Amino acid sequence: MTASKTAFDPASAAARGLALCHFCAQVQPVAHAHCARCHAALHLRKPHSLQRTLALTLGAMLLYLPANLLPVLNVESSVKGNQQNTILSGVIQFWQDGDYPVALIIFTASIVIPIAKIISILILCRAAQTGRRPSAMTRLHRITDFVGRWSMVDVFVVAILVGVVQLGTVMTVTPGGGAFAFAAVVILTMLAAHSFDPRLIWDAAARRLNTASHRNRPDGAA
Amino acid sequence: MDSAPILPSPTLACHDCDALYTAPAVAEGEKIICARCGARLFARWPNALQRATALVCASAWFFVLANIFPFLSLQAEYRESGMVLGGTVSGLEEHGFPLLGALVGVFMLGAPTLIIGGLLYVLVPLFHHRRLPGAGRLYRAILEARRWNMVEVYLLGVLVSLLKLGKLATLSLGTSFWAFVGLIVCLTAALSAIDHRELWSKMEGASR
């Protein structure tokens, strides 16, 4: 077995020393260092993709705790008294009020998507080493990248409520620290999904096929 | 623009799996899908440049309207408070979260401003086969800004807020809200009409 750790998928542009410009999609020799058309730096793969992705995901995981434990919204109302809402208590409140669709939207955007994103990024990082099921993993990356921004909805709700509710003595609404931590979680997972390079999965898949074909070669066959 | 098939570039590589292809000629209305992983490599809309420019102009107009008229107003117990679009940002800043306010501002005001203004700067001169200074660098910034443009997510936030407050107070939507909806429709359509491979090749062909 001779496949080295840095070997590229033989069917890929990188195996021929060709880099795809990240900005203008021009294919050109990586030896040029900068894109001839748009002057962006050329790389065969996103630099330090896995390290960067894992570091950002770790940051998101750490901030996930304060994002869910701290209140995102403080409501001081002369009618209903003071209330501190965390993300989960907000969802529960919507559910108890009978607003099931809103409860589901917030539950999906603020709880399901961030967790699913963190898990799928970890799965993708693993897949970039094992090379299993590259098509499915590429699709998972595409979904993860697309869906992340929708988690920001809760932060916008807080911002809108703070902006619109200025009713003096009747009600005051102020943002809580949880909103900040949650926004950071969303941004970090978005950056993590973006720094992951799905082409690494195909490189790993090619290495896997390569070792498998070496192993299956009948040694003593005439 | 001419409807003759154009070559996006001599070779195509998939951005998701790096499969290498020799580029086929792409006629208007056609798209190329990666045979291995299904990623969309190239899509050419009929009259893409005109379509995109018209939609960007409409977005710019809606964006101006969305910023000058009241966005939401709220009535409770003979009191009324209104909010303009920028109030989403200033409210957070007033209550001690300037960084969060700035982030929200980037997502719903800054990114769309850069995208709309930048696209006008890049697209309009192309009709005269010209390319203004810095157009290439600006277009790269637009491609980066697209991910942080969250106007549609903001709209969902508005709808959720309406339901959240609906029981406490009467909320009414201002002119700016409808302009914002128009902005989302036009900007989304404009961005999907532009294929960046095609745009780069047009910019390459334009004189400076």
- Cβ under 8 Å to B: A residues 180-219: 180, 183, 187, 190, 194, 198-199, 201-202
Clarify whether residues B61 and B38 are in a common domain: no
**One domain, residues B25 and B52:** no
Query: Chain A within 8 Å of B90 (Cβ-Cβ)?
Result: yes
Residue A218's pLDDT band, with cuts at 50, 70 and 90, is low
More confident residue, B130 or A62: A62
Q: Which residue of A has its CA nearest to B148?
A: A149
Q: Which residues of A153-171 are buried (b: 16+ CB within 10 A; e: fewer)?
A: bbbbbbbbbbbbbbbeebb
Residue A17 and residue A76 in one domain? no
pLDDT tier, A3 (very low <50, low <70, confident <90, very high otherwise): very low
Q: Is residue A220 part of a domain?
A: no
CB contact under 8 A, A157 and B20: no
Total domains, chain B: 2
Domain that holds residue B119: 47-205
- Chain B CB contacts of A104 under 8 Å are none
| Per-residue model confidence (pLDDT) at position A167 | 61
Whether pTM > 0.80 for this model: the answer is: yes
Q: Is A215 inside any structural domain?
A: no
pLDDT band at residue A186 using 50, 70 and 90 as cut-offs: very high
Spatial distance between the Cα atoms of A52 and A172, rounded to a whole number of angstroms: 41
The answer to whether A38 contacts B136, with C-beta atoms less than 8 Å apart, is yes
Provide the domain count of chain A: 2
In this predicted structure, the answer to whether residue A220 has a pLDDT above a threshold of 50 is no
Q: What ipTM is given for this predicted complex?
A: 0.85
Q: Are residues B82 and B154 in the same domain?
A: yes
Q: What is the pLDDT of residue B179?
A: 94
For position B1, what pLDDT does the model report?
Answer: 41
Does residue A174 lie within any of the structural domains?
Answer: yes
Give pLDDT, residue A4.
43
A2 pLDDT higher than 50: no
Question: Predicted confidence band at A152 (pLDDT cuts at 50, 70, 90)?
Answer: very high
Question: How many residue pairs bridge chain A and chain B with CB atoms within 8 Å of each other?
Answer: 199
Whether residues A80 and A178 fall in one domain? yes
Q: Are residues B81 and B156 in the same domain?
A: yes
Question: Please, which pLDDT band fits residue A97 given cuts at 50, 70 and 90?
Answer: confident
Band of residue A188 on the pLDDT scale cut at 50, 70, 90: very high
Residues A36, A55: one domain? no
Query: Residue A116 falls within a domain, yes or no?
Result: yes
**Which parts of chain B have pLDDT scores under 50?**
1-8
Closest CB from A13, A102, A154 relative to B18: A13
Say whether both B87 and B122 belong to one domain.
yes
Judged by average pLDDT, the poorest of A8-12, A13-17, A130-134, A145-149 is: A8-12
Helical pair B111-126 and B48-68, crossing angle rounded to 10 deg: 140
Residue A93: inside a domain: yes
Whether residue A22 is found in the same domain as residue A65: no
Q: What is the pLDDT of residue A5?
A: 46
Q: Are residues B75 and B32 in the same domain?
A: no
Residue A100 reports pLDDT greater than 70: yes
A107 to each of A103, A112, A115, A141, B104, how far by Cα in Å?
6, 6, 11, 22, 21
Residues A129 and A38 in one domain: no
Query: How near does any CA of chain A get to the CA of B97, in Å?
Result: 8
Range of the domain at A91: 48-203
Identify whether residues A125 and A165 lie together within a single domain: yes
A66: pLDDT strictly greater than 90: yes
Q: Are residues A29 and A138 in the same domain?
A: no
Residues B63 and B145 in one domain: yes
Alpha-carbon distances of B115 from A146, A171, B110, B118, B144, rounded to whole Å:
19, 37, 9, 5, 10
Same-domain status, B84 and B175: yes
∠ CA A145-A150-A154, rounded to 5°: 145
Domain at A140, CATH number: 1.20.140
Do the domain assignments include residue A212?
no
